[in-house]
Chain A
Amino acid sequence: MFDSYNENTLQYYPEKCINCLMCTQVCPHGVFTGGGEHVELKRPSSCMECGACAMNCPVQAIEVQSGVGCAWAMIRAALRGKDMDSADCCCNGDSC
């Protein structure tokens, strides 16, 4: 009950996978790993819904409702009567 992060919108359809391994390259949290016939969904609850895998999957074997998990922006959008999902935010993180 006290883990809000164990579920997310990531969907993977292994039967569509062509094993190009792009998702394993772009995912920043090691959610996908290379398998035999197709890529394996290894750590689904680590997904942060950045959308990199779905963007770079050439055969749409991955779906995710991507967005930024920023409470500040979502609360602000909600207070202004806007859709919480439309909020985006940018802090000064510079991981790259």
Chain B
Amino acid sequence: MDNKDTGSCCQPDSKADTDQFIRMIDLNRNSHAPVIRETTSTISFRDRSDHFLARLGVNRMGHIVEPGIYRLGNPDADSPVFVSANYTLSFDALRSSLAGIDCYILVIDTKGINVWCAAGKGTFGTAEIVYRIRWSGLSDIIKHRNIILPQLSAPGVSAHEVRRLSGFNVEYGPVRARDLPEYLKTHTATPEMRRVRFTFRERLVLTPIELTHIVLPTLIAALILYLLAGPFAAFIAILIAFTGAVLFPVLYPFIPTQDFSTKGLILGAIVTIPFAATIAAGSELLLWERIVAVLTTFLLTASVTAYLALNFTGCTTHTSRTGVKKEIFRYVPLMALMAVTGMLLLIILGITRLMEVI
């Protein structure tokens, strides 16, 4: 039989620590231990469409894999065990990278959140791993006492605590699942495998979700601007949203300042130039109106882009909390001042034009 029911094997563990721990976190629920499920390395069309929807943020918390033990290939009692988050993108990245490798995958419950974020929250953590090792009856399935975790789970997992509480030795694999075949040859990762990058492609795949976040506020802003200042202003609003949600994530490493806020101010100002030039060259407005209109455009676009840029910090792979907090105190007051000044000028312009019409 391929499926081995480990539900009945609830004999006391030799590790007194584990028992104490299980009681402490109230997990001894006599719940049925899971059957071992089968999985493959093949990513089907259905998986791909699921990935696509996940990228778009559709049914955000619904891209979930059932926690438990999965067999990949024909593993035996000496086969390696990999631990994965129960987010489909994480699980699929792992299993598709393990093509041709006979192994077990222990999927833990991270509430459908990817490895790194779950580790940051603590759901991909020591307690969950120790519990899932016990719950799945892993020690009866394999002879060795070694589990391989993704490196990015380390912020939530204490390897020496897992060993103390479960008897299992934690080995941190590489950051990226696709480096696993190379890693498994020697069980050591090169410095490059240990480093997180934030490549052009990685930044690009984040942009759809950035866009979906700001669609509604953008449409509202565009409508208000359309009523206040016409279709040209409404178009600028949409362009700024695009700049903040797509251009900024893709281009920010090339903007030569360190802080996200200043990067955003610069990008916002650059994007505004053609519009400012169009306004300045227009003849239907008086000179002072043109100056105010150009100033307004710069103030509003630069401040909004800077704010969107600052908010992108959470999606990057390298900003520290200390630094982001410093940015907030340093630049948010400036952004607010710029935005308020810009809006006042816009209202003044709108009223003047209304008076002219009357």
Q: Are A49 and B175 in contact (CB under 8 A)?
A: no
Interface residue ranges of B304-358 to A (CB < 8 Å):
310-311, 313-328, 330, 332
Q: How far is the CB of B94 from chain A (nearest CB, A)?
A: 8
Q: Are A55 and B324 in contact (CB under 8 A)?
A: no
Of the listed stretches B28-36, B187-195, B226-234, B293-301, chain A binds B187-195
Q: How many A-B residue pairs have CB under 8 A?
A: 177
For the complex, would chain A's binding face be called helix, strand, loop or mixed by DSSP majority?
Answer: loop
Q: Given the interface contacts A28-B151, A94-B90, does A71 sit within 8 Å of B176 by beta carbon?
A: no
Q: Pick the residue among A71, A84, A92, A94 that contacts B310 (CB under 8 A).
A: A71
Q: What is the 8 Å Cβ interface bit string for chain A, positions 52-68, against chain B (1 contact, 0 not)? A: 10011010000001111
How many angstroms between the C-alpha atoms of A28 and B154 in the bound complex?
10
Contacts A56-B159, A92-B54, A96-B152 given: A4-B176 contact, CB under 8 Å? no
Question: Restricting to B96-142, which residues have a CB under 8 Å from any CB of A?
Answer: 113-117, 119-121
B contact patch SS: helix
Query: In whole Å, how far is A82's beta carbon from the nearest beta carbon of chain B?
Result: 14
Closest Cβ neighbor of B311 among chain A residues = A72
Does A39 lie at the interface of the complex (its beta carbon under 8 Å from any beta carbon of B)? no
Contact of B314 among A30, A66, A72, A78 (CB under 8 A): A72
**Chain B interface residue count, Cβ-Cβ cutoff 8 angstroms:** 65
* Residues of A69-86 contacting chain B, CB below 8 A: 69-75, 78, 84-85
Q: Given the complex, which residues of A lie within 8 Å of B172, measured CB to CB?
A: 25-26
Interchain CB contact under 8 A, B155 and A74: no
- Do the beta carbons of A56 and B324 come within 8 Å of each other? no
